Amino acid sequence: MWPSCRLTLVVLSLIIGGFRRPDLGQRLDWSHPEQRTGDCMIGMRLSGAPWFIVSVGGGYKDAISYGHSGCTSISPNTDNHQQNITMAAPPAPQPPSLLGYHRVLSPLAGVRVSPLCLGTMHFGGQWAHTMGEVTKETAFALLDKFYEAGGNFIDTANFYQGEGSEKWIGEWLAARQNRDELVIATKYTMSYRHTGPEKIKSNYQGSHSKSLRLSLEASLKKLGTDYIDLLYVHMWDFSTGVEEVMQALHHVVASGKVLNIGISDAPAWVVVKCNEYARFHGLTRFCVFQGRWSCSYRDFEREIIPMCQSEGLAIAPFGVLGRGQFKTADEFQQGGTRNMGPQEEKHRLMAAKLAEVGQRKGVASTSIALAYVLHKSPYVFPVIGCRTVEHLESNIEALAVELTDEEIYEIEDATPFDVGFPMSFLFEMPGQKYRSDMTTRHIWQVTCNTRLEAVPKLRPIEPKQGYNQMDRK
């Protein structure tokens, strides 16, 4: 029992002699005049303090290693008979790509996710005539590459490809045995059994309790899992009340079948009303909003982005790459894009500007399009739909692209954008366009009375520079 007594003496020595924090540039004063025999390593933690590793015996004088927030290990003065003791938890190895530098999902959800979310709406064969074909072999190769590069955030939905997307993901998860390493997001509300054998399909669609139960149980079975990391209300169909939706969603969270909830394709006022109801009744709140947003579709900036910033929601935009529309005139004529109709004028103008900025920076125009949304607001996790591994690698490169404010404005000015009332009335005047980073000091009714300083809006995580994207060991 002497090691436990020895530990008591060590603790008393700390209390009586005190210690100073090495991370503040101060040294531990630690001296023991005698050596011990035996071989014992004791780890202890004082309440509210980092870990201490104490070596007892082994022919060594006692030494201590102080670990602070995963930083460098510290050891006190030792003589020739002593050795340094490394930290109990060394820093994680460098990720294979920037995709492996994970981020907290949102202020309301602490789960760690990769900065890009792999969209799988095109995994399956039923929608090949509009989205292009992605075989199961290609889908598995994309999932493998995403996972190997450090990606862990995967998005699907109950009705994608006639339920084929969830089934393929479930097969891949079973084959790779990596379910708990990943954050799987799926959705309900859309009609997912409209091609099924059932005669009456009314309740296989909607945001009501029965639709939620049926859809969730089906998704769990297809994905081969007993829980969903993130479940979205896929759209607000104005047929179910806030109370029923939030109570039903909280129930599935409390059951353990769902960990976090999000909402997609809904007005900002609906999201605020839902979260306010949940807040007042002790229920789970939406932590993510998913919707269409790109440098040529900026209506997201009118109400959705300010709402997300105010409510603490992450943003998972889809269509960031223009759904095949961000191609130059020559590229569009060559084909190879999805059958989404003719190229609109605003997409043509934006494609030319993205190509111009990309050429200056030596990256693909799609990387500029991705970097644009990543620079606009914190907690942005673009949902990227890739049909080839090469497309995926190109998208990962966007995480290293840095855009200046002037370059962001240059991209935005490539196509017209009317923010609409009341933001145009408040912020725009001759010589001043609305920008999403504006604050109180940019309102002309305020500036005509005082030179007011204001705290800038919270900015997103800055891109990492000088990093070899892929094949980093």
pLDDT tens digits, 189-214: 999 987 778 889 999 999 999 999 99
Angle at which helices 268-280 and 304-311 cross, to 10°: 20
Query: Residue 292: which H helix or E strand, with range?
Result: strand 286-292
**Digit-coded pLDDT (tens) for 48-58:** 444 444 444 44
Mean pLDDT within 309-315: 98
Furthest-apart CA pair in the chain: how many Å? Answer: 86
pLDDT in tens, 128-179: 777 788 999 999 999 999 999 999 999 999 999 999 999 999 999 999 999 9
Greater pLDDT, 195 or 337: 195
Q: Which residues pair with 413 in a beta bridge?
A: none
Distance, CA of 248 to CA of 242 (rounded, Å): 10
d(CA 419, CA 412): 12
- The answer on pLDDT for 25 being more than 70 is no
Q: 389, 471 in Cβ contact below 8 A?
A: no
Distances (CA, A) of 63 to 10, 35, 55, 73: 10, 11, 6, 12
Give me the pLDDT at residue 255, please. 98
How does residue 92 score in pLDDT terms, banded at 50, 70 and 90?
A: confident
pLDDT tens track for 241-279: 999 999 999 999 999 999 999 999 999 999 999 999 999
* Surface-to-core class of residue 21, CB atoms within 10 Å of its CB (0-12 exposed, 13-18 middle, 19+ buried): middle
The model carries a pTM of 0.80
Tokens of residue 405, six digits: 């404010």
So what's the pLDDT on residue 16? 41
pLDDT of residue 467: 55
Q: pLDDT band at residue 341, thresholds of 50, 70 and 90?
A: low
Nearest to 402 by CA among 357, 433, 456: 357
- 160 belongs to the catalytic site: yes
Tell me the average pLDDT across 117-125.
92
Task: Give residue 23's pLDDT.
Answer: 41
Q: Strand, helix or coil at 309? A: helix
DSSP string, 214-256: HHHHHHHHHHT-S-EEEEEE----SSS-HHHHHHHHHHHHHTT
Distance between CA atoms of residues 181 and 204, nearest Å: 30
Residue with tokens 């969830």: 166
- What 3-state class would DSSP assign to 367? helix
For the chain, what are the domain ranges?
2-66, 98-408
Q: In Å, how far are 88, 103, 118 from 402, measured between CA atoms? A: 36, 18, 22
What 8-state DSSP symbol labels residue 22? G
- Which is catalytic among the residues 60, 147, 160, 204? 160
Q: Which residues of 229-254 are buried (b: 16+ CB within 10 A; e: fewer)?
A: bbbbbbbbbeebebeebbebbbbbbe
Distance in angstroms (rounded) separating the CA atoms of residues 442 and 451: 10
Q: Does domain 98-408 have CATH number 3.20.20.100?
A: yes
- Average per-residue pLDDT in the chain? 83
| Phi, psi of 97, deg, nearest 5 | -155, 175
Q: What pLDDT was estimated at residue 466?
A: 56
